[in-house]
Amino acid sequence: MNDLLEKANKLGIKIPAITAEEINEQIKPVLKKMEEAGVMLDCEALNSLDVKLSDKLKVIEAEIYEKAGRELNIGSPIQMADLLFNELKLPSEGLRRTKSGVSTAAQELKKIEDCHPIIPLMLEQRELSKLISTYLKPLPLLVDENSRLHTTYGLETSTGRLTSSEPNLQNIPIRGTFGGEIRAAFVATEGMKLIAADYSQIELRVVACMAKDTAMIEAFEQGEDIHSRTAAEIFNVKQKDVTPDQRRKAKAVNFGIVYGQTPYGLSQALNIPVDEAAKYIKTYFEVHKGIKNYINEMIEKAHSDGYVETIFGTRRYLPNIASHIRYISEAEERMAINMPVQGTAAEILKLAMIKLDRELSSLNTKYEARNTKQIQNSNLKNSEIVSGFDIRVSDLAHMLLTVHDEIVVEVPSSEAKQVAQIVKDAMEGVVKLCVPIEVSLGIGDNWAEAK
């Protein structure tokens, strides 16, 4: 523990005196409450979207059969690859190969999108069948008698993140044509609102601090748009002259830092030549010497100690860091770079949840006292006072979900603004990094609206 505080001091970080093990013990009852509370699902909305998309899917599949000249199993990558590259003779150079042949992943198909009308159809088919089979069909079958969905949170990950399963509520769609509609089916109870509170670039703030990277620290202190700042650096332009495409590329570079980027990886992510990607990375490290140094330090530590760790002491052992098989050792190097950052961000979120749980509990006690008093003074029945609050009077505002850098809270509409500020303050203040921590807030009747 003393080690941890000492380490934090060196980095200019103020953290609560608590170990990773203690964080995990204390988060358990919080997660249990969230699991039991569940989140209300608008099953009718999902069912009608299911009907709509299933109809659309049938039409698209018929068109695929027509273009193919025969019926085949569209869900089989083997059969589809055979059709595309053997029968239709579409070009397969430049496409990734899997163990079973040419990849038909959407990312690869986009490269030959203009070669044949069947490709756009396949992409649309994939999107629809994914949504239908993973979300629209299964989720409505899992709700309880109150239309609420109960996930199970897990603590067993290699970085310290949480997992969510049966159902996984950490991969509910948000992008794409229908993502928003699906997320909008996660609704607040009558008379209540959802608050969605998101850490803004928490991993980059963490790495800026762990790496003591002067340029990145300055960017966050000044409240700059970090991606456009990076764009200005790697393209050697003024920040105001950064184009949207330059910003998009810089965003990928920033993601890459946290992932242990390689020229090849960046080139794939951006669909650009490897040497162009290599240039961006080279320029980036010329500006961000602190980041470069952090990367070297983590790799060295993994070699010397056999593990890397977060600020709070969660460890990840990397037994193959010295493997003579290069891609094995390189994979563990990337884990060594990523884990302390992803893991520390996860710990910050867990600590915020523990803190927020306490604050909401004490707030709820006050509400309860107030409501009891109102009931006594008014001669109204309890049910009339709390009508619309279809949950225990002692538990009015509560956390429902968490998605890595986000917390979703359910709260009586009348208290939403006040509680949102409490959530934001708890999340922003739970630890003091060497840069400000920012949380963005949304309030709405459903999860899409609250983002």
Positions in the binding site for DNA (CB under 7 A): 73, 75-79, 81, 98-100, 103-107, 126-127, 129-131, 133-134, 138, 154, 157-159, 161, 163-168, 170-176, 179, 252-253, 255-256, 258-262, 264-266, 268-270, 326-327, 330-331, 334-335, 338-339, 342, 403-406
CB 381 to DNA: min, Å: 41
CA-to-CA distance for 332 and 437, rounded, in angstroms? Answer: 29
| Spatial distance between the Cα atoms of 129 and 123, rounded to a whole number of angstroms | 10
**DSSP 8-state symbol, 164:** E
Cβ closer to DNA: 265 or 412? 265
Q: d(Cα 73, Cα 80) in Å, to the nearest integer?
A: 8
Q: What is the 3-state secondary structure (H, E, C) of 66-134?
A: HHHCCCCCCCCHHHHHHHHHHHCCCCCCCCCEECCEECCCHHHHHHHCCCCCHHHHHHHHHHHHHHHHH
Of residues 26 and 103, the one with the C-beta less far from DNA: 103
Taking the complex as a whole, the smallest distance from the CB of residue 379 to DNA amounts, in Å, to: 48
Residue whose CB is less far from DNA, 10 or 326: 326
Q: Per the structure block, which two tokens stand in for 419?
A: 């509680």
- Assess contact for 308 and 298: CB atoms under 8 A: yes
Q: Which residue has the tokens 């698209």?
A: 60
- Minimum distance, C-beta of residue 99 to DNA, in the bound complex (Å): 3
Q: What's the min distance (Å) between Cβ of 92 and DNA?
A: 12
When the beta carbons of 86 and 168 are compared against DNA, the nearer one is 168
Q: Which is nearer to DNA, 406 or 410 (CB)?
A: 406
The DSSP output letter for 319 is T
SS3 187: strand
CB neighbours of 343 closer than 8 A, spacing ≥ 6? 159, 160, 161, 309, 310, 314, 316
Would you state the structure tokens that stand for residue 333, as one six-digit string?
């190097």
Distance CA 207, CA 442 (A): 26
Instruction: State which residue, 8 or 270, has the beta carbon closest to DNA.
Output: 270
Residue 266 Cβ, how far from DNA at the closest point, in Å?
4
Q: How far is the CB of 150 from DNA (least distance, A)?
A: 12
Phi, psi of 187 (to 5 degrees): -120, 160
Minimum CB separation from DNA for residue 403, in Å?
5
| Residue nearer to DNA on the CB measure, 171 or 382 | 171
Cis peptide before 167 (omega within 30 of 0): yes
Min dist. Cβ of residue 17 to DNA (A): 27
242 vs 386, which CB is nearer to DNA? 242
* Pick 202 or 396: Cβ nearer DNA: 202
CB of 135 to DNA, least distance (A): 8
HEC-encoded secondary structure of 398-449: EEEEECCCEEEEEEEHHHHHHHHHHHHHHHHHCCECCCCCCEEEEEECEHHH
Q: Write down the least CB distance from residue 331 to DNA, Å.
A: 5
Report the alpha-carbon distance of residue 334 to residue 120 in Å, rounded. 34
Is the CB of 386 or the CB of 427 nearer to DNA?
Answer: 427
Nearest C-alpha neighbor of 317 from the set 330, 328, 296, 301: 301
